[in-house]
């Protein structure tokens, strides 16, 4: 059974269809030879996502998207929503691609969009352990972070700090769906937004079968068209 953990504590149909068509054309061309291990367009309630409705956080599925929301400014309540989903047949220590569309509706931060995670999150197999990677997405840059229980965070460089000629600069807007792709291949992490490479960094693959997000800022974002491949 898929599961989720909470710690600390419509778009119009025409727009959705256009986004979905562009998304699948782009994604199929880049990683069409891999096997799909998980896919959800959130149009139905078939994948058993855990919904949350507390004083501080909301996770809801409606109008073909799943939404993550924090209701209070971080300076007032710095608690975070750590949301995870275990994916059968997904192995974070292998080559993989994770693709999805996402839309940031609001944020107390001027530039922050959302954080996306993968790895081993709070598994109880005799030892409580969390070791994950996280991508921090903003309106114009992205960076990788690594978190390990009892050791804390290690952050990599922001995408706008690199001189790699293969990386494209980008500027996004709120209230607009964009296509994101996270590729781990032969100890290299490649991130694409709207089919453009925006981030490349060496990576040491981690064990685990979870994906998730961290919601620390007041705000809301939507996730759609999730596809995971090996």
Q: Scanning the structure block, which residue is given the tokens 């996402």?
A: 102
pLDDT surpasses 90 at 205:
yes
Return the percent helix, strand and coil in the chain, to nearest 5: 10, 50, 40
Coil, strand, or helix at residue 10? coil
pLDDT band, very low/low/confident/very high, at 9 (cuts 50, 70, 90): very low
pLDDT, residue 25, reads 56
d(CA 52, CA 139) in angstroms, rounded, equals: 27
Which top CATH class is 13-229?
A: mainly beta
pTM of the model: 0.84
pLDDT band, very low/low/confident/very high, at 32 (cuts 50, 70, 90): low
Residues 42, 204: contact at Cβ < 8 Å?
no
Residues 126, 143: contact at Cβ < 8 Å?
no
> How many Cα neighbours within 13 Å face the side chain of 36?
11
d(CA 14, CA 186) in angstroms, rounded, equals: 38
Question: Checking DSSP bridges between strand 142-148 and strand 210-215, what pairing results, if any?
Answer: unpaired
Average pLDDT value over all residues in the chain: 86
Residue 128, burial from CB neighbour count under 10 angstroms (0-12, 13-18, 19+): exposed
Higher pLDDT, 128 or 12: 128
pLDDT average, residue stretch 187-214: 95
d(CA 63, CA 39) in angstroms, rounded, equals: 17
User: Strand (E) positions, 91-141?
Assistant: 96-107, 112-124, 128-138
Q: Minimum mean pLDDT among 25-34, 61-70, 156-165, 167-176: which range? A: 25-34
DSSP states of 137-195 as a string? EESS-EEEEEEETTTEEEEEEEGGG---TTPPP----SS--EEEEEEEETTEEEEEETT
% of the chain with per-residue pLDDT over 90: 71
Q: What is the pLDDT of residues 37-80, one digit of tens each?
A: 999 999 988 788 999 999 999 999 999 999 999 999 877 877 88
């Amino acid at each position: 059974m898929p599961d989720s953990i909470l710690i600390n504590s419509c778009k119009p149909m025409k727009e959705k269809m256009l986004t979905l068509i562009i998304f699948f054309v782009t994604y199929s061309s880049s990683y069409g030879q891999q096997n799909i291990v998980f896919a959800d367009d959130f149009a139905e309630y078939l994948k058993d996502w855990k919904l949350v409705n507390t004083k501080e956080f909301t996770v809801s599925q409606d109008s073909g998207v799943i939404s993550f929301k924090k209701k209070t400014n971080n300076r007032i309540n710095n608690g975070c929503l750590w949301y995870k989903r275990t994916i059968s047949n997904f192995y974070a220590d292998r080559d993989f691609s994770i693709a999805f569309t996402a839309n940031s509706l609001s944020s107390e931060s001027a530039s922050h969009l959302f954080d996306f995670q993968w790895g081993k999150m709070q598994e109880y197999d005799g030892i409580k352990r969390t070791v994950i990677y996280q991508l921090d997405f903003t309106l114009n840059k992205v960076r990788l972070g690594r978190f390990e229980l009892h050791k804390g965070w290690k952050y990599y460089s922001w995408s706008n700090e690199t001189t790699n000629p293969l990386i494209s600069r980008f500027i996004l807007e709120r209230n607009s769906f964009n296509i994101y792709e996270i590729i781990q291949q032969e100890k290299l992490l490649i991130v694409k937004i709207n089919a453009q490479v925006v981030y490349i960094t060496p990576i040491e693959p981690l064990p685990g079968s979870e994906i998730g997000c961290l919601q620390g800022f007041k705000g809301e974002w939507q996730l759609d068209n999730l596809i995971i491949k090996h």
